[in-house]
Amino acid sequence: MKLSPVFQSLLTSAVFASVAVAQYATGDWSLVQEGHSGVSALELVVVSETTAVIFDKVEHNALQTNGHVAWATELDLVNKTVRPLNPTSNTWCGTGSFLSNGTMVSSGGNPIVIAGGNGLAAIRLFTPCEDGNCDVLEDQSVRRMASLRWYLSSARIEDGSILLIGGSWDNAIINMPNITNPTYEFYPPKNIHGYNGTPIHFPFLDETMNANYFPLFIQLPDGNFFVAANKQAMIFNWKTNEEVMRLPNIPNNVTISNPIPAGATLLPLRPETNYTPEVLICGGSSYPDDIPHWERFVMSSQEPTSDQCIRMVLNEEGIAKGWEVEQMPQPRIMSEMVLLPDGRVLILNGAQTGISGYTWASEQIGESDADHPALTPVLYDPTAAPGQRFSQDELPTSEIARMYHSTASMTPNGTVLIAGSNPNDDVEPDNEFPTEYRLEWLSPPYMTHVRPSYTGLPETFDYNSQITLDVDIPQDAQNVSVVLMDFGFATHGVHMDQRLLGLVSELSDDRSKLTVTGPPSATLYSPGPGYVFVLVDGVPSFGHKTLIGTGAQPPFDQGAFNNVLSQQPLYWNNWTAAHPETSDEERQLFSTISGQPAPTPTY
């Protein structure tokens, strides 16, 4: 019998649909409120199987440490309690990424001086520990950036160091030509392109003014980077310092970076598709980004935001096709995108109107420059047919607004940790959108199933090497697979480094051993921490932690390192000239630490 083309395509989609269903565990979602972050979680990063680090700005949190207010904590993911940490400069508007040796680097932040450290050039190290004794290590006479950066991005690169890019050297609601830092640098510093550790000009950041804070910077399988800011996108090669290719602009004049950020992620990279990369960017705003529109009280907390989701396959064919455009159930800015181990994407948090920040817009809600929090997450299935990718009805709705300075992250246990929100200059318990300390834990349906488990993951897992795990999986298991995840670092609605890489694996005949091959290359997954999940019919095991590669130190160039330390950071003179009141700020800050009134807002 010959089928009509219509019937044939119906049949094909029915087959696809049944495969897609088998891929995911069925059941109910749940949302539980449990625990407090101690400080407001404006930056969030999982650092071990059982702990996460949370950074806040300096403000009047009740939690105290070393005789002053705490503005960072380590959260125990199991018993949901915190212990204060002690960064010595303000991490506000900073970023973070991991080195190959497992140390997390927090960089950049706020200029206000605390105990000798100005956060704008800060490099802070955090090496996770088991004994509860590790803390943030910071001494800018020993290590720091080569320039001042607030609202910067960071990325793990293939050699195990990190790349730091963009931002500005002074505080402002939006980037401006007189404060921008349109450069990139490395940590540890490299002697590359003749710069010997000092910042390297990045013209794309001049071109994408003004709304280009926290540019998207995502490593692709060939080692090049997908870069996007404002309404533009391109592919960049840091090894040659060249723009490889200009990509089509963001469709429909939508801006996708801060202060009106979209959520973004690389979709899962899988051996079945030869690791073909594809990016997904959802939300943003088409509010104009020229400076007069951003003068105080010009824009409103009621400005509409965008419901546009765009994705593009980053190979020759995909780029020729351009962006595929879809619509989310609601518009959003400041949302988070969290990859699930089963390959789907959660879009959560954020606001449906307004802009990032506080005390700047007209029609402020309390101090918030945004309104209409998006309270129900959206689930996006990248493998479903167009028109069937978004679902929301079965997802729980929160009672907690998570807007400016909110965060979310996948955890090793498979739950999604949701934290933060503080569209206020200081701690404000009484505003309509208060300073938020409550934590929420979102459990996808797979959490209700009997979980597969495994043992035998070594402390380091090298490229192309094979390891054998002892697995405990149900007898009727059909689809057994392994994924490696970087949960990334969440700051300001941007999720640095998040990725999911499918690993090649083979189950023994008696189904008790799973042989897993390490990532094929360091450009597919940079050396350093990763979490390995064994998935059985859409139900993930606990994600145990390993160091991909050998755990070796990142490359260290003593000459470039010394050169950075031998001179003032780039833009230091501009900053001191623009802030003759520095010593006053210091005094104000010390009064903050001792629990006196907070300094006046810097904007």
Q: Is 369 in the site for ligand NAG (CB under 6 A)?
A: no
**Cβ nearer to ligand NAG, comparing 309 with 536:** 536
**Cβ nearer to ligand NAG, comparing 197 with 343:** 343
The region of 283-291, 300-308, 518-526, 593-601 touching ligand NAG under the rule CB under 6 A is: 283-291
Is 333 within 8 Å of 357 (Cβ atoms)?
no
Is 432 within 8 Å of 366 (Cβ atoms)?
yes
**Assigned token pair, 491:** 């700051």
**Cβ nearer to ligand NAG, comparing 373 with 551:** 551
Q: Is 288 in the site for ligand NAG (CB under 6 A)?
A: yes
Out of 170, 278, 425, 436, name the contact with ligand NAG by CB under 6 A.
170
End-to-end CA distance of the chain: 72
Is 307 within 8 Å of 331 (Cβ atoms)?
yes
CB of 466 vs ligand NAG, minimal distance in Å: 20
Residue type at position 224 = N
Q: Is 125 in the site for ligand NAG (CB under 6 A)?
A: yes
**Cβ nearer to ligand NAG, comparing 282 with 483:** 483
Closest by Cα among 459, 474, 463, 540 to 503:
463
Within 13 Å and on the Cβ side, how many CA atoms surround 570?
A: 22
The region of 87-95, 125-133, 197-205, 593-601 touching ligand NAG under the rule CB under 6 A is: 125-133
Q: Is 447 in the site for ligand NAG (CB under 6 A)?
A: yes
Is 389 within 8 Å of 325 (Cβ atoms)?
no
Backbone angles phi, psi at 278, to 5 degrees: -145, 135
CB of 191 vs ligand NAG, minimal distance in Å: 15
By CB under 6 A, what part of segment 35-54 binds ligand NAG? Answer: none
**Assigned token pair, 301:** 């907390």
| Cβ neighbour number for residue 389 with a 10 Å cutoff | 20
Q: What is the DSSP letter of 120?
A: G
Q: Which residues sit opposite 345 in a β-bridge? A: 339, 380
Report the alpha-carbon distance of residue 328 to residue 392 in Å, rounded.
10
The structure tokens 């309390």 sit at 366
**Cβ nearer to ligand NAG, comparing 447 with 560:** 447
Q: Is 198 in the site for ligand NAG (CB under 6 A)?
A: no
**Cβ nearer to ligand NAG, comparing 103 with 276:** 103
**Cβ nearer to ligand NAG, comparing 434 with 502:** 502
**Cβ nearer to ligand NAG, comparing 422 with 505:** 505
**Cβ nearer to ligand NAG, comparing 372 with 451:** 451
**Assigned token pair, 81:** 């309690």
Strands 368-373 and 351-358 come out as: antiparallel
Q: Is 343 in the site for ligand NAG (CB under 6 A)?
A: yes
CB of 152 vs ligand NAG, minimal distance in Å: 16
Out of 13, 16, 76, 504, name the contact with ligand NAG by CB under 6 A.
76
CB of 170 vs ligand NAG, minimal distance in Å: 5
CA distances from 129 to 133, 136, 263, 393, 497 (A): 7, 12, 31, 40, 22
CB of 403 vs ligand NAG, minimal distance in Å: 22
Q: Is 279 in the site for ligand NAG (CB under 6 A)?
A: no
**Assigned token pair, 407:** 């965060």
The structure tokens 């392109």 sit at 193
- What residues contact 353, with CB distance under 8 A and at least 6 apart? 301, 302, 303, 304, 305, 331, 370, 371, 372
- Total length of the chain: 603
| Cβ neighbour number for residue 546 with a 10 Å cutoff | 22
**Cβ nearer to ligand NAG, comparing 72 with 401:** 72
Q: Which residues sit opposite 445 in a β-bridge? A: none
Report the alpha-carbon distance of residue 362 to residue 252 in Å, rounded.
26
The region of 326-334, 431-439, 549-557, 594-602 touching ligand NAG under the rule CB under 6 A is: 549-557
Closest by Cα among 455, 454, 460 to 546:
460
Backbone angles phi, psi at 519, to 5 degrees: -55, 145
Contact pattern from residue 227 through residue 266 relative to ligand NAG, giving x for each residue in contact according to CB under 6 A and a dash for the rest: --------------------------x-------------
The structure tokens 């195990």 sit at 160
Report the alpha-carbon distance of residue 485 to residue 505 in Å, rounded.
15
Out of 8, 64, 81, 273, name the contact with ligand NAG by CB under 6 A.
81
The region of 17-25, 197-205, 427-435, 511-519 touching ligand NAG under the rule CB under 6 A is: 17-25
Size of site (CB under 6 A) for ligand NAG: 39
By CB under 6 A, what part of segment 554-573 binds ligand NAG? Answer: 554, 556, 573
Closest by Cα among 445, 420, 443, 426 to 366:
426
The structure tokens 């900073």 sit at 94
Out of 113, 155, 535, 539, name the contact with ligand NAG by CB under 6 A.
535
Out of 47, 58, 69, 99, name the contact with ligand NAG by CB under 6 A.
99
Q: Is 574 in the site for ligand NAG (CB under 6 A)?
A: yes
- Angle ∠(586,424,591) on CA atoms, nearest 5: 25
Q: Is 375 in the site for ligand NAG (CB under 6 A)?
A: no
Report the alpha-carbon distance of residue 332 to residue 171 in Å, rounded.
24
Q: Is 176 in the site for ligand NAG (CB under 6 A)?
A: yes
**Assigned token pair, 371:** 């309104």
Out of 48, 413, 421, 491, name the contact with ligand NAG by CB under 6 A.
413
CB of 531 vs ligand NAG, minimal distance in Å: 13
Q: Is 179 in the site for ligand NAG (CB under 6 A)?
A: yes
Q: Is 474 in the site for ligand NAG (CB under 6 A)?
A: no
**Cβ nearer to ligand NAG, comparing 111 with 434:** 111
Q: Is 314 in the site for ligand NAG (CB under 6 A)?
A: no
**Assigned token pair, 135:** 């803390």
What residue ranges bind ligand NAG (CB under 6 A)? 19, 22-23, 76-79, 81, 99, 101-103, 125, 127, 132, 170, 176, 178-179, 188, 253, 270, 288-289, 291, 342-343, 413, 443, 447, 479, 481, 535, 553-554, 556, 573-574, 578
